[in-house]
Amino acid sequence: MIQLVNEIQTQANVVYVLGAEQNTLEFPNVEWLSTFVEEFLKSKKESDFVKMSNQYFFFVKENADLEKMRLAGYAIRTQLDVKADNLTVVGSTDAALALTEGIALSNYQFLKYFKDAAEKSYALKQIQLKGAFDAKIISDLNHTIKAVYWARTMVNEPVSFLTAEQLAKEIELLGQEAHFDVKVLDKAKIEDLKMGGLIAVNKGSIDPPTFTIMEYKPANAINSKPVVLVGKGVVYDTGGLSLKPTPSSMDLMKSDMGGAACMAGTIYAAALNKMNVHIIGLIPATDNRPGGNAYTPGDVITMYDGTTVEVLNTDAEGRMILGDAIAYANQYEPELIIDAATLTGAALMVAGDRASCLMGNASDEVLAALVKSGFAVHERLALLPFWDDYKEQVKSSIADLKNIGGRNAGTITAGKFLEHFAKYPYVHIDIAGPAFTEAPQNYKGHGGTGTGIRTLVHFLANYKGL
């Protein structure tokens, strides 16, 4: 991760962020290097590097656009040798910090299943930062990056390892480390609670479901009622009897628990950072398979709160398990309910992989704060209309609701379906677009991205209560 230092080690690989403070930077006393820097500053290049023996010197022009600095950090990671075991960033500006963040996020690898993992593994384990930064800022950033790493790993793990029960165990380990409470409800308890949506989706699987409850409650919490975070935990989605095609669809569906990874990772970071916000997390988890007793199109399911749902497509399973979890959240009388889910393919039609889709009935101030946080960390949120007109599309002729709303506005109608279960201010974030990459994509990596964590950590760090 990132370590604050006061000196540059001899033979260190160094990144110099050149801007207003560049005259105070300590360059090696090498004449040709000084000439190189002078020519670079006169050029139109935003960054450049030179290698002297086994030592790298990177130079990056300061940019007020912090995302460009993060991307410059990614470029440095790609240029740095795999076996380079040290790197020091020199600079004291927000730009230097963003660049360092970009390097750290780019340093993630998922190599568990490679035979030659040791050869592929980056030797760089710690990035040194020589600059005038508050230690708390660096500590908080490290914890957030650590949470993103964890979420990426969870999304990258196949269902052959990450069953619903295993996901619950992984979250329990987070609780033990960061000192927040974790309670896991097993299949028998889920059935006792009559969580009909979660039970129905699980019927086609031989693996049992879980319902994980997390609680982080600091003594100095600013909110008298909690913020509840709900994450979709479909550890693998075949589509059930409404079977998905395989290429670029079912083959990617280990990622369908990205919402669960996001919310558990957010609480993990909040606890490590000792935020003063009371947070509860709810993770309904199962796989969705077409086993012998799978739920079917045409079924009518009674949800946890008694709502009846006509199932028209078993591949609209995420809203079934989230509906139960959101209804369960009402017992806490929360200030705010936020869910995150890889919920609809329609979200990619709206915003592609460039943004998540945001909607809800929470106040304009809450929605604006989330949008602001998304821009701050470049996990952008596209705010969609959430008018009550859309409710008509999820009304059933034989039950209270139906689980699909038709071709038009599919992302919004999925949100309106979920809103039905929330009795308190509610926000829905569809992260289907940016949650998983099929090819390497800058510092977000290849595979699970951990999207949403940095946004929600920023939002909660600035949260003032309602």
Q: Say if 185 falls within a structural domain.
A: yes
DSSP code string of 301-332: EE-TTS-EEE-S-TT--HHHHHHHHHHHHGGG
Of 169, 194, 244, 423, the active-site residue reads: 244
More confident residue, 114 or 292: 114
Give yes or no: residues 307 and 347 share one domain: yes
Do the domain assignments include residue 466?
A: no
Range(s) of the domain holding residue 74: 2-133
pLDDT digits (tens, 9 = 90+) for 152-175: 999 999 999 999 999 999 999 999
Same domain for 268 and 190, yes or no, is yes
Q: Which CATH number characterizes residue 32's domain?
A: 3.40.220.10
Last residue of a domain, one of 133, 163, 184: 133
Closest C-alpha among 328, 345, 325 to residue 231? 325
Residue 372 lies in a domain: yes
118, with CB counted inside 10 A (0-12, 13-18, 19+), is: exposed
The residue among 46, 30, 42, 132 whose CA lies nearest residue 90 is 132
In this structure, are 262 and 234 located in the same domain? yes
- Sheet architecture: strand order including 401-402: 300-302, 308-310, 401-402
pLDDT tens string 80-113: 999 999 999 999 999 999 999 999 999 999 999 9
| Residue recorded with tokens 């558990």 | 264
Residues 150 and 125 reside in one and the same domain: no
Quick one: 164 and 284 in the same domain?
yes
Domain boundary among 133, 157, 189: 133
Q: Answer yes or no: do 177 and 127 share one domain.
A: no
Q: Which one, of 199, 225, 182, 360, lies nearest residue 284 by Cα?
A: 199
Contact in structure between 336 and 330 (CB atoms under 8 Å)? no
Q: How many helices (H) and strands (E) does the chain have?
A: 14, 20
* Residue 148's CATH number: 3.40.630.10
* Token representation of residue 406: 């038709």
Is the separation of the CB atoms in 89 and 2 below 8 Å? no
Q: Is 70 a catalytic residue?
A: no
Asked if residue 200 and residue 302 are part of one domain, the reply reads yes
Q: What CA–CA distance (Å, rounded) separates 244 from 345?
A: 12
Inform me whether the pLDDT recorded for 69 exceeds 70: yes
Tens-place pLDDT, residues 39-64: 998 999 999 999 888 899 999 999 99
Domain-ending residue, one of 133, 154, 185: 133
Mark whether 124 and 149 lie in a shared domain.
no
Report pLDDT for 4: 96
Instruction: Count CB neighbours of 101 within 10 A.
Output: 23
Burial class (CB in 10 A: 0-12, 13-18, 19+), 387: exposed
Please count the other Cβ atoms lying within 10 Å of the Cβ belonging to residue 425. 17
50: which residues sit within 8 A by CB, 6+ positions away? 33, 36, 56, 57
∠ CA 244-411-251 to the nearest 5 degrees? 25
What amino acid occupies position 14? V
Q: How many domains does the chain have?
A: 2
Note whether residue 203 is domain-resident. Answer: yes
In the structure, what pLDDT confidence band is assigned to residue 67 with cuts at 50, 70 and 90?
very high
Is 244 known to be catalytic? yes
Residues 351 and 268 grouped into a single domain: yes
Task: Say yes or no: 103 and 157 in one domain.
Answer: no
- The pLDDT assigned to 318 comes to 98
Same domain, 169 and 73: no
Which structure tokens are listed for 301? 């399911």
Note the residue count of the chain.
466
Q: Are residues 79 and 213 in the same domain?
A: no
What the block records as the tokens of 354 is: 């460039």
Residue 278 has what pLDDT?
Answer: 99
Q: What does the DSSP 8-state code read for residue 23? A: G
For residue 38, the model assigns a pLDDT of: 86
Q: Which of 319, 402, 416, 454 is catalytic?
A: 319
